[in-house]
Amino acid sequence: MLSALLAAVLFGASTPAAKLCLDRLGPLTLAGALYLGAAAATLPFALRSHFRVRSRSNLLRLTGAVVLGGVVGPVLMLLALQRAGAASVSLWLSLESVFTALLGRLFFHEYLGSRAAAAALLVTVASIVLAVPHGIAGSGAALLAATAGLCWALDNNFTAVIDELSPAQITFAKGLVAGSLSFGLGALLEGAPAITSLSAGLGVGAIGYGVSLVLYVSAAQQIGATRSQLVFSTAPLWGAALAWAIAIDRIGTEQLVAAALMAFGFVLLGRERHAHPHVHPRQRHRHAHTHDDGHHDHEHLGLPAGVEHTHEHEHDELSHAHPHSPDLHHRHRH
């Protein structure tokens, strides 16, 4: 639980930290630095297994994640930070969870129950509460942040069904390719950055994106994906709290109301439960897994059941019922 909480704090802190970096770096240059820093931090973990993408569908998903999640999303988020406070932008980015759930329901066969729908509504109302007092300027910043959230939601849904790469490998690929592209465009359009400013951007990316991901994956291995995702979804609240703590932004009534609505929404999302009889078709794929999850019954001599590892493996057809989330094995229709 502690790893997931620290991952949420670090990722949330990256938004106000990026706000400070914008004083000396343009949005394209900073977006590139953030993702190049993430690539550097995840490189040792990405090299633990072979890096290969043989499936055309996985290559298309990875390309979408790189372009939308690594290039477009970060630039839009930084443009929003230029127009609004770090606390407000942090809270607006909670819309990423809403968009992830809605897109998953519409296009990726995910279940969206009444509690998840209520949570989505609460986060949306909270975002409107934040934008209204700031008029047209606030609406423009909110739209930029919301569109960034939509890009990252598409990124989340694309990467959730990539079964040939680990999370560290996906982050490394996204960081290296998208970071290099954004940084190159930034150098061309915004000028060469100072070394000290560039180092700050790389550091924020390495810690807020790279180290945060490694901690999140570690938490998912220890307490499960559902619980770790619930804790990690508090990241926007931590970002807003840090912005207030270091006096980047003032604490307004609308921000406190919005934070309370979002917190309640996250509680509802965490209480969502989904279980029914379902059939797993016969398939062969490659992804990180353990042998104590009820879906992987093959054996490895000398390897404890709870140790996560990655290799290509085959599943026989299986029919059963249990509580489940929309992971690689549960993309059935409802």
Report the 10 Å Cβ neighbour count for 160: 18
Proportion of the chain above pLDDT 70, given as a percent: 74
Q: Does 268 share its domain with 287?
A: no
* 326 within a domain of the structure (yes/no): no
Of the candidates 241, 251, 306, the residue with the CA atom closest to the CA atom of residue 13: 241
Across the range 66-77, mean pLDDT stands at 93
Q: Which of 276, 305, 324 is the last residue of a domain?
A: 276
Q: pTM of the predicted model, to two decimals?
A: 0.74
Q: Does 235 share its domain with 88?
A: yes
* 300 within a domain of the structure (yes/no): yes
Q: Does 286 share its domain with 246?
A: no
Q: Does 61 share its domain with 192?
A: yes
Q: Does 96 share its domain with 204?
A: yes
pLDDT in tens, 178-200: 999 999 999 999 988 999 999 99
* 294 within a domain of the structure (yes/no): yes
Q: Answer for the pair 58, 285: CB distance below 8 angstroms, yes or no.
A: no
* 148 within a domain of the structure (yes/no): yes
Q: Does 125 share its domain with 143?
A: yes
* 330 within a domain of the structure (yes/no): no
Q: How many separate domains does the chain show?
A: 2
Q: Does 198 share its domain with 294?
A: no
Domain that holds residue 43: 2-276
Q: Does 129 share its domain with 12?
A: yes
pLDDT in tens, 290-328: 776 666 767 776 667 666 667 667 766 667 665 655 555
Q: Does 296 share its domain with 245?
A: no
Q: Does 252 share its domain with 293?
A: no
* 246 within a domain of the structure (yes/no): yes
pLDDT in tens, 121-172: 787 777 777 766 655 556 888 899 999 999 988 888 888 777 778 888 888 9
Burial 231-266 (b: 16+ CB within 10 A, else e): bbbbbbbbbbbbbbeeebbeebebbeebbebbeebb
* 322 within a domain of the structure (yes/no): no
Q: Does 178 share its domain with 131?
A: yes
Q: What's the rounded Cα separation, in Å, for the pair 81 and 87?
A: 9
- Computed over every residue of the chain, the mean pLDDT equals 79
Q: Answer for the pair 316, 295: CB distance below 8 angstroms, yes or no.
A: no
Q: What's the rounded Cα separation, in Å, for the pair 319 and 110?
A: 18
* 325 within a domain of the structure (yes/no): no
Q: Does 242 share its domain with 292?
A: no
Report the 10 Å Cβ neighbour count for 72: 21
